[in-house]
Amino acid sequence: MSSRRPQPAITRAPSTTRTRHVAKPAQTSGSSGRRQGPPTQATRRSFGQRRLAIVRLLLLLAMLALVLRMVHLQVVRSPELSAAGQAELLRTTTTPALRGGIFDRNGQILALSSPRLTLQADCSQIDEPVKVAKALAPLLGLKGEAALAGLIEKLSRKGPGSGQVVLATDVSEKVAHKAMHVLFLPGIAVTTQYPRSSPNLSLGGSVLGTLDWQGNGNGGLEYAYNSLLAGKAGQTRVLQSPNGMVLPQASPVEVVKAVPGQGIELTLDVPLQFQTERALGEELLKSNAISGTAIVMDTRTGEILAQANLVNTTQTPYAGAVPVPPVITSKTPVLPGIQQAMNNLAVTQAYEPGSVFKIVAFSGALQGGQITPKSTFLVPDQIKIDKYVFHDAEQHGLLKMSATDILAQSSNLGTYQIAKRVGAAGMLSWTQRMGFGVPTGLKLPGESQGLTVTSSTWSSTDYVSLAIGQTDSVTAQQMLDAYNAIANNGVFVAPRLVRGLVGQDQSVTPTPASPTHRVLSPGVAAQLTAMLKEVVLAGTGTNAVVPGYSVAGKTGTAQIPYSNIRGYIPGAYNASFVGFAPASNPVLTAIVVINRPTPQYFGGEVAAPVFSSIMSYALHRYNIPSTVGAPTKIVKVGKAAGDVTGGL
């Protein structure tokens, strides 16, 4: 039996340390192909830290770039970008200047512009109309559910055509301030307008004129003095919505300050203007006339104290006649059916004057020494010149008449004989010398200088037709100026309507006095005055008597020609009276022209009574002393029909 020698047991003491496995180096391409082992934890930690650092750096750079961009936009380019942003809504608007006022000779207002605040809304900017309406209702004094509902309906309008809505006009500054600067309501704005108004309503409207929709003069003195009255518009920059609504959050910036216009002080006297329009309007209604003109002038200065131009809207003009100017639409007529004429008829409407024009032949003959007031003439019933028959207004036999009688009774054929003595050249010269065929100097829009015969168009029949006021046409103002020269001791004085310019401090700078020139010698003026007194005392103008005052003047009744064919309109006349008082020392000169009165149409019956009414009021208003020995009542002695011309 074999025996084996037992092996001793080997006992290892436990190790207190763990065996470290050393990583084998990564296999290279030249190695035997064994794979590289995974990265160690330290390697992974190092790589993560580097990546985090890179991210932090990138974030830092991004934040730095953002800060730099913000600095560039908000600091460097701030003015540029702010201007560009505002340019989207910024608008430069015209700020209208306050238009100058028009006043009468005593400072009474005839036309005045005053600021009027209007509260309006831009519905496109209002998202909560109910809320806005409830805020505005107490401010506007709206009470009750119905009023509130109406306001909500206005503010709720959307879509095409809604635009701006007017919420209230004539709001106070207190209301406007609260709406804009206290409530801060979106879409609400306040605009300022300068409407024209007058405490005297439409008084003198045809003289003053009107304004167009842009606030510029559209006629009369408003047009003639527009550059002075209008002032100079300014410029304001405001923020507006795309449809033109001013944004309430932005305050307007005044770029150019508006310069208010200057006012003008007229020669008109408001009480006399009122009385003149009233008397003229009453006669237009009474005589069924189409239109009428009445003027009162200061004899010495040429200042026009009243100038009325009225249209009777109840009447229709005759077919074929010169159209009557339209009326100024007004809720305050002079009288029911009587309105202001759109044009100043006193200077724009030329008409055949008739017998009042006879003063030209008499002036020329007296000044030239061809006649005296007592010169006598044999006056037939009718004469024939170049196949045309001319006659007096009334049939009569061969009459022996003095020059004074011829004027007082308004004989056409007697005037013809006097004109023959003056001669053709003399008649043409005296026509212009007395102010016909030339502008009056008032420089009003649409003024007519009339139409008179010239040497190239003169014919033998003009000794009659021109002398009796047929073939020529004049304006009422021209006719008044001619008679005023007689009243003013033979000195022609140009009419004047603007007395002074009114500054912002209400100071008045007088305008130059009217130019004058002598037309007649004082002696001839006195002779003519005495002859014209007879017209009123015993001739065709007895209805022009002013009780207690001596009056000198002349009547006229002229047929109206067709506008497009030769001849005269049957039954259509212009009736007129022109004169002055007191005749012994003239202070006032006046004319009245009535267009197409019916059934009565004589100047002595229709126009003369209006003259008497107006002149009586004016003489008493200015405390003119009465005339010793003057008639105290109207006594009809002569015949008003004796002054008819036309249809010859």
Q: Which pLDDT score is estimated for 162?
A: 58
Enumerate residues 6+ apart whose C-beta is below 8 A from 179: 119, 136, 139, 171, 185, 188, 190
For the record, the structure tokens of 301 come out as: 């200065």
Same domain, 107 and 119: no
Residue ranges of alpha helices (H) inside 110-204 are: 129-140, 145-155, 173-181
Same domain, 99 and 219: yes
Q: What is the mean pLDDT of residues 496-522?
A: 94
Report the share of the chain in percent with pLDDT over 90. 51
Same domain, 351 and 401: yes
Paired with 118 in beta bridges are 169, 191
pLDDT band per the 50, 70, 90 thresholds, residue 323: low
In a domain, 144, yes or no: yes
pLDDT in tens, 587-614: 999 999 999 999 999 999 999 999 999 9
pLDDT in tens, 233-276: 887 777 666 555 555 555 666 678 888 899 999 999 999 999 99
Same domain, 255 and 277: no
Q: Is the pLDDT of residue 3 over 60?
A: no
Same domain, 611 and 477: yes
* Half-sphere exposure for 346 (CA within 13 Å, toward CB): 31
Q: What is the mean pLDDT of residues 434-463?
A: 93
pLDDT band per the 50, 70, 90 thresholds, residue 648: very low
Identify whether the C-beta of residue 229 lies closer than 8 Å to the C-beta of residue 250.
Answer: no
Q: Is the pLDDT of residue 315 over 70?
A: yes
pLDDT band per the 50, 70, 90 thresholds, residue 189: confident
Q: What is the mean pLDDT of residues 559-573?
A: 86
In a domain, 75, yes or no: no
Q: Is the pLDDT of residue 320 over 60?
A: no
Q: Is the pLDDT of residue 69 over 80?
A: yes
Q: What are phi and psi of 460, to 5 degrees?
A: -60, -25
Domain count along the chain:
3
Enumerate residues 6+ apart whose C-beta is below 8 A from 187: 121, 122, 123, 124, 125, 126, 132, 155, 241, 245, 248
Same domain, 261 and 367: no
In a domain, 163, yes or no: yes
Among the ranges given (61-70, 78-87, 260-269, 318-327), the one the predictor scored with the smallest mean pLDDT:
318-327
Same domain, 427 and 538: yes
Same domain, 332 and 456: yes
Q: Which pLDDT score is estimated for 17?
A: 44
In a domain, 105, yes or no: yes
Q: 186 or 289, which is more confident?
A: 289
Same domain, 314 and 231: no
- pTM value is 0.79
CATH classification of the domain holding 241? 3.90.1310.10
Start-to-end Cα distance in the chain: 195
Q: What is the mean pLDDT of residues 275-298?
A: 96
Among 164, 193, 222, the domain-final residue is 193
Among the ranges given (76-85, 257-266, 382-391), the one the predictor scored with the smallest mean pLDDT:
76-85
- Domain of residue 236, residue span: 85-113+203-266
Q: Which pLDDT score is estimated for 115?
A: 81
Among 266, 299, 319, the domain-final residue is 266
pLDDT in tens, 402-416: 999 999 999 999 999
In a domain, 64, yes or no: no
The helix-helix angle for 424-433 and 359-368 (nearest 10°) equals 110
Among the ranges given (88-97, 197-206, 346-355), the one the predictor scored with the smallest mean pLDDT:
88-97
Q: Which pLDDT score is estimated for 163?
A: 64
The dihedral sign for the CA sequence 238, 241, 245, 249: negative
In a domain, 72, yes or no: no
Q: Is the pLDDT of residue 161 over 80?
A: no
599 upstream amide cis, omega within 30 of 0: yes
Same domain, 358 and 293: yes
Enumerate residues 6+ apart whose C-beta is below 8 A from 361: 415, 418, 419, 422, 427, 430, 467
Q: Which pLDDT score is estimated for 77?
A: 79
Same domain, 526 and 641: yes
CATH classification of the domain holding 458? 3.40.710.10
In a domain, 469, yes or no: yes
In a domain, 603, yes or no: yes
Q: Which pLDDT score is estimated for 249?
A: 53
Q: Which pLDDT score is estimated for 333?
A: 77
Same domain, 153 and 279: no
Among 142, 170, 193, the domain-final residue is 193
